[in-house]
Chain A
Amino acid sequence: MTHRSDRTLHVKALARVEGEGGMLVRTRAGRVEEVRLDIYEPPRFFEAFLQGRRHTEPPDITARICGICPIAYQMSSCNAIEAACGVEVPQAVRDLRRLIYCGEWIESHALHIYLLHAPDFLGYDGAVEMAADHREVVQRGLRLKKTGNEIMEVIGGRAIHPINVRVGGFYRAPSRRELTNLVPRVEQARDAALETLRWVAGFDYPDFEQDYEFVALRHPADYPITQGRIVSSGGLDIPVREFEDHVVEEHVPHSTALHARLDGRRYMTGPMARYNLNADRLPASVRAAAADAGLGPRESNPFRSILVRALETLYACEESLRLLDAYEPPDPPAVDVPAVPGTGHGATEAPRGVLYHRYDLGEDGIIRTAKIVPPTSQNQAQIEDDLRRFVEPRLDLETDELTHRCEQAIRNYDPCISCSTHFLDLRVEEA
């Protein structure tokens, strides 16, 4: 049945592990009556699990929250613990952290662009169907992703749940030779990223410009990855330690998840926010590529986030090459971080947006409380609002098509199932 004015689009939970989510859009008399994005599971288990642990343990434990972005969890936790203990790491450690984080951006963005989001734009059910018709394109995406994984593996000891990251730096600094060996592959990845940007620039994008409040880190010199102040397009400009003075997580009735709000307002974090607030921090070569791809100084159509991810992949490759060229192994590979009682806050730019950690350390250096706010919980309220605005003018679409378009709209945010939920088994209920 098509063109029904009373409908429920329901994407329910997938049953691999507990703690899943889904999407529900209910319309009545041609109006959107209810939108619920049910993401059941922020990393509260990990917050509880960290209590009573030593202050050196969060990088290893929180890396297990997400298989796609373990480095983000490790780096936000290191920043927070080091802030609590009043330790600043040397520039050489910072640079190596930035390099491994670039690997994660490349891996995560390539996965999302090629295997998850591009099939929506090209009219395929999924990556498998797209690969049948565009074999070389998908192979390029997989090679790009693999290069990101290789950067993570060489520095982190292994790509999944890296083991070489510690509070204060690294257990072992890779030799210059080990990293130099990566250069040819990263050069190829840079070329592939540029081809990726040109490829997605040719996609058709629905008209869906919205008035967002963007939130991202901002650094005096660099495009933000591992450090910076928290700024917003609404004028917020605060140090990371004031995050919780402005961002409050609220319970919502339809979900056990928390929805974060900035001074009471919904907001967007992630690649679109980073780009809109920090495009002036990109090197000239990347800004030129952005202009060639049709990216303006301000982008407010979330469907164009795939373009921004492609641009950030190019940036991460160029930044990796710069860091590889300048690399000198940090000596020692880590600085001591003696426990100091108190509270530390840390935030970095995970592929999906701002990832905030706070730890309260007791007199004995044991963690009393931990708080983790992942990007997906920050974006949830905004995703629901997008769905509301997106669906209403499109109620003339067939139910299957509309459901699929809603999923595409959710995919604009690349919501993290491992941080927040496992996701989406499709079912449509006609009212």
Chain B
Amino acid sequence: MIGVGNDFRRDDAAGLEVARRVRAAAPTGVRVLEHDGEPAGLLDVWDGADVAYVIDAVRGTGGPGAVHRVEVGSDSRLNREPRDSTHALSFGEAVALGRVLDRLPGRLVLVGVEGGDFAAGQGLGPEVAAAVGAVADEIVREVGG
């Protein structure tokens, strides 16, 4: 279970908060990581896993706290985004690269928590904080904690 985010970008810390809650309750055999989302690094951490969850804050139209769950391989919404950075790959590119190099986990689930405030600062907004708790509980249930 890979929580992605930045603690100093308010709602962007949602994935990290989910990771911290899951870590406290997860059974043996579940590896919980906090990650900044650098995609080449994601290939290294999910390589060889039977199942990998990636939890990240996202921006969308559902409003802060809305949760989106995407199973990679079965959901077209995770198609690759265009190359758009001078500095890093996108998450979609990491998945595409993993597919080309046969370095995807057996199952890859992306859970996106919509954030409202990604400005510099600390602390989640109330809707995001509530969603984080629900997502963490759901993942712990799924992995048998």
Contacts and interface: CB of A to CB of B under 8 A. Distances in A.
B36 A426 contact: no
A87 interface: no
Contacts of A411: 86
Contact of A64 (B6, B37, B38, B86): B6
A407 B7 CA distance: 30
A342 interface: no
A410 B100 contact: no
A149 B100 contact: no
A417 B100 contact: no
B40 to A, nearest CB: 6
B29 interface: no
B86 A415 contact: yes
Interface residues of B, number: 33
Nearest to A376: B87
Nearest to B86: A411
Interface string A98-137: 0000000000000110011000000001111001100100
A250 B43 CA distance: 40
Interface in B25-62: 34-38, 40-41, 43-44, 59
A414 B7 CA distance: 24
Given A411-B86, A424-B84, A67 B36 contact: yes
Given A128-B80, A135-B100, A160 B41 contact: yes
Contacts of A49: 8
Interface string B77-117: 00010111111110001001100110000000000000000
Contact of B38 (A16, A17, A67): A67
Chain A interface residue count: which class? 35 or more
B59 A16 contact: yes
Interface of B: 6-9, 12, 34-38, 40-41, 43-44, 59, 80, 82-89, 93, 96-97, 100-101, 118-121
Given A128-B96, A410-B86, A417-B85, 11 more contacts: A14-B84, A17-B9, A67-B36, A128-B93, A135-B100, A138-B101, A142-B44, A146-B44, A407-B86, A417-B88, A423-B85
17 contacts: A14-B84, A64-B8, A67-B6, A67-B38, A111-B38, A115-B97, A135-B100, A142-B40, A160-B36, A161-B36, A414-B87, A415-B87, A417-B85, A423-B87, A424-B86, A425-B82, A425-B84
